[in-house]
A and B are shown apart, each in its own frame.
Chain A
Amino acid sequence: MDPLNALVLLANFVIIPALAYGSQLALGALGITLIYGILRFSHFAHGDIMAFGTAMVIITTWVLQGAGISAGVLPTALLALPVGIAATIAYALAADRTVYRFYRKVRAKPMIFVMASLGVMFVTNGITRLIIGPGERRFDDGVRFVFTVRDFREWSGLAEGLALRSAQAITIVAALIAMALLFWFLARTRAGKSMRAYSDNEDLALLSGINPERVVIITWAIAATLMVLAGTLYGLDKSFRPFTYFQLLLPFFAAAILGGLGNPLGAVVGGYVVAFSEMGITYAWRRFFVHLLPEGWEPAGLMQLLPVDYKFAVTFGILVLVLIFRPTGIFRGRSL
């Protein structure tokens, strides 16, 4: 029986990776939920615009690296973030001007908006591939580890090791800062309150003198910022590939719907729940139980509920269960 080693093992293979992945999902789901709350449609182009924004960050990173500029121990991509965010905000606003604004004007049904966003998704998908290609790109530099498995073993004297990669630490910290800023913005500022008012009751917001086009612009700007941040952090933590980013749409929506569409706090909670479920269900728990159970009780099998390849099945399962049993989500957002 060795609960400490069991805990360290769990932290290394489940808790820390899931916290990082959950932060990335939370940022993406926040964008989905904001767009749903304000513009009232499911934004299917989310993953691909995220890929576009990340591509912009990667290209800027290359330029900075070429010019010999770096952020020292931190990845250069962090310096490139503002450029990527500006480009993505411009892209999202251009998409709004050319596509969505027309459907707003004719007060189209949400399903038509969803189909339009599907079109934006395909176009964005093509643009991203034209710019940076369909292949995998790694763009992390700077120091790779905050501490390594060996550092931890020497420090603690435990049999199990624990590593914290810089990308994971940066992801968790950056996501927490971004979320804190967003919640402060929504709760305290005039613009943030006008967004919530518009989301709550569009007609009354109009009567109160809130300018809907302004609310829409702010929403796109925030959603685009969150997309680029989520995409860059995901790319640093894992790697960048346009198709992988498109696939993130599923956990994003699962997180947003699980938390309650239109509810920002729900999106954050949903992001972490989805991440921990994916990691927990596809992790081989054998060694954890070897540490925890008395000698001779070791499980014979791997104790893995599903192979890692099936992590999207976990997310899909969550999505289906939520839609059947609690369509408004944990925090009672709008149902689809």
Chain B
Amino acid sequence: MTAHADSHVRPPDATGPEPVLIGENMTGGYGGADILHACTIAVEKGQIAVIVGPNGAGKSTAMKAVFGMLKLREGHVRLNGRDITALSPQARVAQGMAFVPQTANIFPSMSVEENLEMGAFLRTDDFSETMEQVFDLFPILREKRRQAAGELSGGQRQQVAVGRALMTRPDILMLDEPTAGVSPIVMDELFDRIVEVARTGISILMVEQNARQALAIADMGYVLVQGRNRYTDTGQALLADPDVRRSFLGG
């Protein structure tokens, strides 16, 4: 995993603050018509970036494009200054990206501990320390480490899913609607944990349906409409913007 260790080093020739991850001018779709049109998403080191927007705005598609699950017709994706546009999703994981899908994001018949082990499958070093960190972050998982992940509650499963993704010690963690289908209390708790993850220096890119709560913890917000950037600003600024509030946050 030398590539991983190297990836912490900012390239010396970078002028200005190069984001950890940037998908620039992304245009493309799943074959047929384009879904994204010159869409740009960037995440700074240790910050939380949130993609919000109405249904069908291409939020998840934008995230999948950044992760390489979608072929781009135009535009580039750079991770730590390196162009990774041509890499497969698996190769991007090896380069320091981690992705938590919205659904089917755990191994249901395997224990919590085994789920985390599978997250660390690419690692050849001792990952017990990382596992301890995940257990510190999500104490309930330590308690249920021997239990099958499929038997846990929805919120706990999401914790397993995030924990699994963290096992590679990624530079950037991408979450596709992590709070879909969980209760409001669990949602608040999950957001708290996500903020904690960001404090450890891991950058976060998140697609969220609960725009108001997500923007409240976001350093940067991207409002997409029909695959285009409509508003891009800090989370606070977007929450304060009357246009954004009226159009996307229900007043």
Contacts and interface: CB of A to CB of B under 8 A. Distances in A.
Contacts, number: 56
B99 A201 contact: no
Chain A interface size, under 10 / 10 to 19 / 20 to 34 / 35 or more: 10 to 19
A208 B118 contact: yes
Given A203-B101, A204-B101, A209 B106 contact: no
Nearest to B114: A193
Nearest to A193: B114
B90, B94, B106, B108: residue with the most chain A Cβ atoms closer than 10 Å: B90
A210 interface: yes
A197 B115 CA distance: 8
Contacts of A207: 89-90, 93, 99, 101
A201 B121 contact: no
A190 B127 CA distance: 14
Contact of A200 (B108, B121, B164): B108
B107 interface: yes
B119 A208 contact: yes
Interface in A199-238: 199-201, 203-210
Contacts of B105: 204
Which of B90, B118, B122 is packed against the most chain A CB atoms within 10 Å? B118
Given A200-B110, A204-B104, A204-B106, A193 B90 contact: no
Interface in B72-119: 89-90, 93-94, 99, 101, 104-110, 114, 117-119
B109 A208 contact: no
Contacts of B90: 206-207, 209
A194 interface: yes
A43 interface: no
A190 B118 CA distance: 9
A200 B111 CA distance: 12
A196 interface: yes
A201 B118 CA distance: 11
A207 to B, nearest CB: 6
A260 to B, nearest CB: 11
Nearest to B167: A208
A215 B90 CA distance: 16
Contacts of A206: 89-90
A205 B105 CA distance: 10
A222 to B, nearest CB: 18
| Residue of B109, B110, B117, B119 with most chain A CB atoms under a 10 A cut-off | B109
Given A193-B110, A197-B110, A200-B109, A210 B104 contact: no
B84 to A, nearest CB: 16
A206 B89 CA distance: 9
14 contacts: A193-B110, A193-B117, A193-B118, A196-B110, A196-B114, A197-B107, A197-B118, A200-B109, A201-B106, A203-B104, A205-B118, A206-B89, A207-B93, A209-B93
Interface of A: 190, 193-194, 196-197, 199-201, 203-210
Given A204-B105, A204-B107, A206-B90, 13 more contacts: A194-B118, A197-B118, A200-B108, A200-B110, A203-B101, A205-B107, A205-B118, A206-B89, A208-B121, A208-B164, A209-B93, A209-B94, A210-B121
Q: Which 8 A-B pairs have the closest CB atoms?
A: A209-B122, A200-B107, A197-B118, A208-B121, A209-B121, A208-B118, A197-B107, A200-B109
